[in-house]
Amino acid sequence: MSGREMKYIQEAFDSNWIAHIGPNIDAFEAELCQYTGSKYALAVSSGTAAIHLALLAMGIGKGDIVLCQSLTFVATANPIMYVGATPVFIDSEATTWNMCPNALEDAILHYLQMGQKPKAVIVMHLYGMPAMLDEILYLCRKYGIPLIEDAAEALGSEYKGRKVGTFGDIGIFSFNGNKIITTSGGGALLSDNAGLVEKARFLATQAREPVAHYEHSAVGYNYRMSNVCAGIGRGQLEVVGERVWMRRGNFQFYQISLHKNPGIDFQDGAIDMFSNRWLTALTIAGECPSLVHNALLANGIESRPVWKPMHCQQIYKTLPRFGGSVSERLFHQGLCLPSGSNLSDDDRKLIASIVDDCFKT
């Protein structure tokens, strides 16, 4: 917590606005728009809910094809199943670790030849690193397919000077407790398309019609963020720049300290990509990732493997996929080092020394 949240939380309690409507929600949505440059924002209960609403707002349903990045957290893919559509998984490219444009076009052409045009593409900015948006946007526009940006991990990241989450038809953010900023739990849906946001807003409030009695013409969901949580978000949003700076500082420290060790490569991006470095992610050749993980754990320090690709998950392994095996290699060789915004220099020095010792021995 930044210390600024209590002001807005207290205002919510003092004014008795504690439910899913209130001044903090309206202000938080406006402040998200101001920070990201998006025209419209909808604050909801989670990033997963935001993806679900995005698919519903786009009219995606049973039998539709949605092309989805494979190297991601499962919450990117699950909402596709919620609406009855079929996720088709796209492998990564080796630089940013995000969706490979070549594999994406192969998938698009495959389904077009089958007479089944994909209804959406979901790209994810992994660990805060922007995807190759020029190439992906080109393909989406060329073939007339809407783009959803899963920027759950990427608040504050930029592509060519513009905040990610604002390039696609819809962008989503997560404010879960482990993100750059948090509302304890929560998310947001952003778009420049007023119609899509209003459709999502309608569905997020139980699809209640604007009449005095309770009238419902569609199946809706209880997906709105509370006014109290939005107050937390307002206090957090005031320090988002500081949090990004801290996370990038972690990455720079690790990169300078560890790059000399053979076989270590960090997740990278082009010069016009600005990553918030939500997590410092790297690959270590051979069997070393598990050795480093265990050495850190022996010292009471948690590290984490890179996300296991969706096409390798038990629930999704029978579904179609396109591309090579880049994401599988990243999973087997990848490791995320401690990256919290409150790490001290002593913390980082200890972590780096343990990693160095693994290479010495």
Give backbone dihedrals phi and psi of 195, rounded to 5 degrees, phi first: -65, -40
From the candidates 179, 260, 308, 317, which is the catalytic residue? 179
Residue 159 backbone dihedrals phi, psi, to 5 degrees: -125, 115
Strands 273-274 and 86-90: unpaired
Strand order in the sheet with 273-274: 162-163, 158-159, 273-274
Whether 163 is a known active-site residue: answer no
Which two three-digit tokens encode residue 342? Answer: 């409150």
The total of other beta-carbon atoms located within 10 Å of residue 249's CB is: 15
Alpha helices, H only, 238-268 = 240-258
Task: Tell me if 346 sits within 8 A of 293, measured CB to CB.
Answer: no
Q: How far apart are CA 334 and CA 290, in angstroms?
A: 9
Give the pair of three-digit tokens for residue 351: 């972590």
Q: Distance (Å, rounded) from C-alpha 116 to C-alpha 3?
A: 52
CB distance 89 to 310 below 8 Å: yes
Active site residues per annotation: 179
